[in-house]
Each structure stands twice: as structure tokens, then as C-alpha cells.
Chain A
Amino acid sequence: MGRILMKGNEAIAVAAIRGGIDAFFGYPITPQNEIPEYLSKHLLANGKAFVQAESEVAAINMVYGAAGAGARVMTSSSSPGIALKQEGISYLCGAQLPAVIVSVMRGGPGLGGIQPSQADYYQATRGGGNGDYNLIVFGPETIQETVDIMKEAFAIADQYRNPVLVLVDGLIGQMMESIDLDRPVKERNLPPKDYATTGTRNHPGRHIINSLYLDPLELENHNKKLQQKYALVKAQETRYETVDLEDADYVIVAYGTMARIVRSAMETLKKLGIKVGMIRPITIWPYPEAAFDLIKADCKGILCTEMSAGQMLDDVLIANNGRHKVAFYGRMGGMVPDPEEIVAAIKNFSDWVVK
């Protein structure tokens, strides 16, 4: 029997080990505490590094240091904790350092609450750090998908020398699911870490990890290089799933936990004779705009659903590009909608149209 039962946070930790993690730096916060708890036990027992830092700010700077030395590094936190890490995340992008960041979202703003939420979509895709940078952001739907992505995340970060953010809500962190840890992961040809500061005995001359470019032309050229990299990520790593999209009269867009609710709502809608399909972004940056080209021309409308006030809605509007009517239905603050609410929003589509 290959399947075992795991809590989401625990599965994230196990998958990080499978993905080759060398070091974890973090600071506790609900609802993601089982990640550092598990890693504290298992990393130290296997000669890897685990540090509970004095704060989130310290943790992300430890990530910067260890990533600069060539290690596979990870940190995890929840909404206000990820907010504290934003400066370090921008620096990681500027210095082109690979790292894996796990964000287990809870209700906000501020301290908010500890119930599940998706209100950090902007934080993940628009960033709170400075400068023209992007994270490669995954928004998995199940614990199995989270595990598969976590196993691959370190390699993706290494390939592009850029942080990868795995964005889940507290429900995925806290719920149990039966999973298979041994599903195969895409093989990647990874470049050597010729930037790593491993000591002058190991490489000729000094290696410097840096994001400071005082000469504006030099900084612009550095930015051009970053933008080329992001274009490559868009071309190579964009992922999404479509469900019954071809002849759908209504298309629902949802990621993460919301997609699970939408699947259940779709069953009910089909029984009512309503042709409904789903676009489920798996990467939320890069956003799968191409999926929207698959929607039929006479589609009656697109419903964007979130456990937030309408953040992904921006990307839906950009991807839709004025072609179809777009409606929005969301809950906030840790409230998780029932499938019946989505059914009602489709039935009364015109009440929820935003554009």
C-alpha cells in the first residue's frame, strides 16, 4: 500500500525533504506550524540545517545567505509573516538567488484571524517588495498536488535562479488527505551553481552575492536580464487545468481550495442542465492567460471565485480582455463558501457582473 494519510503542512515538509532541502529558516505562526515542527525533527537528524530565527526578517535573510552559498533553502510562514519577509524576497530576486517559500494564508489584513483565506494573491503575484521582480507562484488545489510541486520547487528555483512561492490556504495546511509521496517529478538539466560563495579554495577569485547596482545603465541592463528570465518562465512554466471548457456556457475560474468547492458546485449545475466549465490556474504567476482563448465565443460569462475580495479578478479581466462578461463571487476573513453559493452565483450571474 503506497498511500499514506498526511496533514497538508506535514506533507509539505516531507515533500521538501524529497525535493532535496538543505536548510530551513523560519519563525512560527498559525496555521503553518507543523511545517517547521516536522522539519526541526527530521532535518537535524539527517545532518541538515534548521534554525528557528528570532523573527521572519531574520529568517528570510538567513535564506539569502544560505542560498548565496549554494544550498537548497526554504522558509515558510503565513500571511503577516510573509509580509515581514517582503524586503528579503525582493533582495533574493535582485541577487538572483533560488529559494522555496511556502505561504499558508489566513484571514487579514493585519493580524486578521487564523481561519483559511486567499487574500494574499496580490502579495504573492504583485509583491510587497521593491523593484521589477516576479516570483514563480504555484497555487495547488490538493495536498497531492502540493506535494508534487514541493518536490519540484527546488529544481525550478535552481533552474531560473529565482524564488518559488507555493501559495496555499490554511485549509490545505490543516486538512488530512491520502497521498502518494513517490510520484515522479520532471527531470531538469540544472546549471552549475557557479555564483555560489563556497570559498576561494573552491573557485578562482571572489564571488559576491549582491543586488546593488549604482550605475543606472548597469542596473537597467541587470533588469533587462531579469525580464528576459521572467519571459522564459512564462513560456516554459505556465500551468493550468481546464475542466469541461469546450462547450461551457459559463466558465468558473478558481485556484487552490476554491477549485475544490467549484468542482462540487459544477456537479450540481450539470444536474440542473447548465453547461459549466472551469479554468484552474496552477501557476498564478505566470498567469495562464492562454486558457482564456479556449473559451467559446458565445460563452455567457466568466465567474471568478476567491476566498478574498477580488484579487485574481484583475488577472481574469486582463486575460479576458473584454471578450466576455465577467462576474465575481468571493468570501473573506476566513469564511469558506459552500458549493451552493457558487451554484447560486451562476444561476443569478447578472447580479454578480463586475465588467
Chain B
Amino acid sequence: MKRITFLTGYYGSGKTEIALNLALAKKVDYLVDLDVINPYFRSREAEKMLSKNGTVCISSDLENGAYADLPYLSKKIFLPFREADTRSIFDLGGNDLGARIMRQFDEEDKADVDLFLVVNVFREETKDEASIIRVIREIEGASGFKVTGIINNTNLLKETTYDEIYFGEAIISEVAKKCDIPIAFTSIYEEIHDPEKKVAGEPLILKLYFRKSWY
């Protein structure tokens, strides 16, 4: 994981939960919420929890920005590029549309930047090799950045077992081989995590912050 990591993926792939968990696990300085697509379940809703853990959340700095779906972002989103001694995670909105926002970082030094694609093969649009490769191409085209890693986030929420994780891993491994992009992380719910079971890439033990007990 480089100094600055962008998370992208098809909408509903789990980017925001991954962003929160990665930010906490890696103790980054900034979590930048660039999601101007979703009205609910955005990183900015976890601002207080993040700040307790030493991570500053940058998003909209409008009053009530957490409860509005305005395409407005704070100019502070450039801070991670200016402050060379900080580490950051950027949480993009879904699809190529959400990734297009990366165009404003065109002039920045790309050597410091990772772009990770979050994939859940139980989402219709990334269910097989061909569709995942299509999403990679669309996002690379829209963002102007190369995808440098894949995160296997294959899950069926509460029904997830290692069978689902490995089912996803098999498909994503083929994509990784064909596109020459490594699997950077595999996410595993903390309830089912078994350290004996090997997964591709670094395991990311996941706690669901947006999921209430009664969902």
C-alpha cells in the first residue's frame, strides 16, 4: 500500500466499509470521502469514530454535508498530496462515474498513488472475469490512473463463509493473472475469521460499521 491509496469499484462492492477498516487498521492520517453519488452510508458518517482513532475525515465542509447529496467537496481533498509525510485513503463513489473525480489529481505525482479495485463477485456487474476486466478498463479510462491492486471483498453479508470468499478468489485470481494486477487484500468478517485459512494477498479483518444489528 503506497502513501496514498484510492479505493474504487462497482457501486455496492463495499468500498466504504473497506475504506473505514483499512483506515483504522493502517492508522492513516486522512480518510478522504469523494463519494458524491450515494446519499447514505458514506465514510463521512463515521467522522467522529475516525477522529477518535487519529484519522481526519475530509469530505464536504458544507454545513450538514453528511446529510446532503450535493456534488460538493472541500478543497482540503488536496492536502494528502501536499503533506508528503502523511498517509491517506481516498474513498471514491461507485463505477466509472465515481472514479472520474480523480481527474482533478491529474497533475499530481502518481508514483505515490495506489488505485485498488474492490470486487464482490456476488454483484451482478462484477460476477465474472469478463465483467471485472470491463469495469477495470472503464475506471482506468475515467480516472486516468492505472488499477494497481484488487481487493477481494466477495461476500453475501451475514451469510458469508470461506466458500464464498474462495469462490470470489478463483474468479479474481484469473483477472489478476490476465491483467497482471496483484490481489492486494482479501476481506474476512471478524466473526468468521480463521487464521489457519490462507487467502490471496493480505487478510483484512472486517468489522461492519454501517450495518446495524437489526439489518
Contacts and interface: CB of A to CB of B under 8 A. Distances in A.
Are both chains from one complex?
Answer: yes
B40 A5 contact: no
Interface string A246-284: 000000000000001101100000000000000000000
16 contacts: A1-B122, A1-B164, A3-B159, A4-B122, A6-B124, A31-B39, A113-B67, A175-B41, A177-B215, A178-B157, A178-B159, A260-B214, A261-B214, A264-B213, A338-B212, A339-B214
Contacts of A176: 12, 157
B215 A260 contact: yes
A239 interface: no
Residue among B11, B67, B156, B159 with the highest chain A CB neighbour number at 10 A: B156
B69 A30 contact: yes
A6 B157 contact: no
Given A113-B67, A170-B40, A174-B38, A5 B12 contact: yes
A324 B192 CA distance: 45
A130 B167 CA distance: 55
A207 interface: no
A174 B124 CA distance: 16
A7 interface: yes
Contacts, number: 63
Given A115-B67, A178-B157, A260-B214, A5 B122 contact: yes
A7 B40 CA distance: 12
A114 interface: yes
- Ranked 9 nearest A-B pairs via Cβ: A264-B214, A178-B156, A174-B40, A5-B122, A30-B39, A31-B39, A260-B214, A7-B12, A114-B39
B214 A178 contact: no
B67 A114 contact: yes
B123 interface: yes
A10 interface: yes
B55 interface: no
Nearest to A334: B67
B59 to A, nearest CB: 16
Contacts of A115: 40, 67
Interface string B124-138: 100100000000000
B5 interface: no
B60 interface: no
Interface of B: 11-12, 38-41, 67-69, 120, 122-124, 127, 155-157, 159, 164, 167, 212-215
Nearest to B40: A174
Interface string A3-28: 11111001000000000000000000
A171 B214 contact: no
Contacts of B159: 3, 178
B124 to A, nearest CB: 6
A264 to B, nearest CB: 4
Contact of A6 (B12, B41, B67): B12
A261 B123 CA distance: 26
A1 B39 contact: no
Contacts of B123: 4-6
A30 B11 CA distance: 16
Contacts of B157: 5, 176-178
B128 to A, nearest CB: 12
A1 B12 contact: no
A174 B122 contact: no
Contacts of A338: 212
A116 B38 CA distance: 14
Contacts of A264: 213-214
Contacts of B124: 4, 6
Contacts of B213: 264, 339
Contacts of B41: 174-175
Contacts of A114: 39, 67-69
